[in-house]
């Protein structure tokens, strides 16, 4: 600092020297000012670049999240649709032989479940598994009891010449069912089964397989309570899944901007 003061005093006492130094100081000051300005601008440019990179990262993440939400919606909707298709076919099996269609529908449900496992949260996958199990129970019941149900329909579809024979066969069959449910003696059940078999064989439009299906069905528990329980179980499982999906999608929650709150 002392050296600078001496230099300044020297310049004050020597105007010629001061006049020579002033342009030099102006040049140095300009260079220093430009350097400072460049540093500030460089710092601002780097900040802008960092901000642009962060914005791009956020936009890419938001795009990925939106795509995943769409995949989840599609997978969940497809799974629910497949369960409803299986339910519809299960009911039709009691009237029509559609075992192949049933198998195809079950394969589609398995595929939909597998796709769901890849994209859905675990709690929704667990609920979907419960729906899957309930739907399979319904299908298995229909496959097991459907043939006898269809044979009963065939027994009821008679022409004028077979009315009495079909009616008698139906009565004998119901008697056998009641005896099995009441726990009658083995001898009485065998006698009733023999009578039912003879009566069914007189109905000429029934096939041997249909007669066999009808007699085997008398050994099984009543169909109606089993069917109602299976339908109720499937409906409850499906309702639980749909409710959970609606909560996850924010279907019943709206913000003030009327935009849905989506959390899936």
Write out pLDDT tens, residues 99-147: 899 999 999 999 999 999 988 889 999 999 999 999 999 999 999 999 9
**The whole model's pTM is what?**
0.69
SS3 labels along the chain: CHHHHHHHHHHHHCHHHHHHHHHHHHHHHHHHHHHHHHHHHHHHHHHHHHHHHHHHHHHHHHHHHHHHHHHHHHHHHHHHHHHHHHHHHHHHCCCCCCHHHHHHHHHHHHHHHHHHHHHCCHHHHHHHHHHHHHHHHHHHHHHHHHHHHHHHHHHHCCCHHHHHHHHHHHHHHHHHHHHHHHCCCHHHHHHHHHHHHHHHHHCCCCCHHHHHHHHHHCCCCCHHHHHHHHHHHHHHHHHHHHHHHHHHHCCCCECCCCCECCCC
Structure confidence by residue, pLDDT tens digits, 163-209 = 888 899 999 999 999 999 898 899 999 999 999 999 999 998 899 99
51 or 110: which carries more pLDDT confidence? 110
pLDDT at 256 over 80: no
pLDDT of residue 39: 57
Q: Is the pLDDT of residue 245 over 70?
A: yes
pLDDT of residue 255: 47
């Amino acid at each position: 600092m002392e050296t600078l003061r001496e230099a300044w005093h020297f310049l004050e006492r020597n105007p010629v020297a001061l006049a020579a130094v002033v342009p030099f100081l102006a040049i140095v000051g300009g260079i220093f000012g430009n350097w400072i300005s460049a540093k500030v601008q460089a710092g601002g440019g780097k900040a802008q670049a960092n901000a642009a990179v962060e914005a791009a990262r956020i936009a890419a993440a938001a795009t990925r999240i939106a795509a995943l939400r769409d995949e989840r919606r599609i997978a969940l909707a497809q799974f629910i649709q497949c369960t409803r298709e299986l339910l519809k076919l299960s009911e039709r099996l009691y009237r029509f032989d559609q075992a192949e269609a049933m198998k195809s529908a079950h394969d589609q449900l398995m595929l939909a479940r597998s796709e769901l496992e890849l994209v859905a949260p675990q709690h929704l996958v667990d609920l979907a598994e419960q729906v899957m199990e309930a739907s399979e129970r319904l299908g298995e019941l229909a496959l097991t009891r459907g043939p006898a149900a269809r044979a009963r329909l065939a027994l009821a579809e008679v022409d004028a010449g077979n009315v009495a024979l079909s009616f008698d066969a139906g009565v004998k069959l119901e008697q056998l069912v009641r005896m099995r449910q009441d726990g009658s003696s083995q001898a009485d059940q065998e006698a009733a089964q023999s009578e039912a078999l003879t009566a069914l064989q007189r109905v000429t439009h029934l096939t041997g397989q249909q007669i066999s299906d009808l007699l085997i069905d008398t050994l099984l528990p009543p169909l109606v309570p089993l069917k109602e329980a299976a339908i109720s179980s499937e409906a409850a499982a499906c309702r639980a899944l749909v409710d959970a999906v609606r909560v996850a999608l924010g279907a019943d929650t709206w913000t003030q901007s009327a935009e849905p709150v989506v959390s899936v």
